[in-house]
Structure 1
Amino acid sequence: ENLVVKLARKGFSKSMIGIILRDSYGIPLVKVVSGKKISEILEAKEIESALPEDLLNLVKKALNIRKHMETNHKDLQGKKGLQRTESKIFRLIKYYKRKSVLPIDFKYKPEQIRTIVAR
């Protein structure tokens, strides 16, 4: 558990912590060793990110596509990719609001999300 907390404080995501433990320390499943999942350990130690990891990855992808679209206005495939990615983001936000992971008044605004992702 201490190793999971140490890696989380260094800024690694839950999936990266699992990969590091598997590859470097030979721990295939944290739950088998500690009896808790990585997310349960981090919740107990109150080390949680503002957004769930899958949503955060989609937001980062959308921000990268937006940055690309600023310089390449006529890229229609890029525009379609942005629409698809943001559609996934909106669906995931609806799901997390239903499951009370995100607050009900949470809105996806790329300008404001940029500050959350930058942290």
Structure 2
Amino acid sequence: MGRMHSRGKGISSSALPYKRTPPTWLKIAANDVEEMITKAAKKGQMPSQIGVLLRDQHGIPLVKSVTGSKILRILKDKDSKFRLILVESRIHRLARYYKRTKKLPPTWKYESTTASTLVA
């Protein structure tokens, strides 16, 4: 295939790493990386600048290998946070109903940390 904006038919392109797993020497968790990305985005940095920042200052070679998704996808992921809010509000409504009908003790309280251990 020829190039779109030039006459060349070159074959040079960037090479992605063969291994898709994070390096063994990298000790940063995926949640920490996502927090770093959102903080940098709130400062007004573009995704490419965020990648350079993570590579140079924090030693994260490839964000996708650590988090499972690219920087732009992490920044665009507002839907899952919204759905979590909807699910938690549904849980609170049901809890209010079950406390009123005496199927739950009146001292029962929903906590997201205990819920994640019950599901996992």
TM value normalised by structure 1: 0.37
Which structure exhibits the higher relative contact order, with contacts defined as CA atoms closer than 8 Å and separated by 6 or more residues? 1
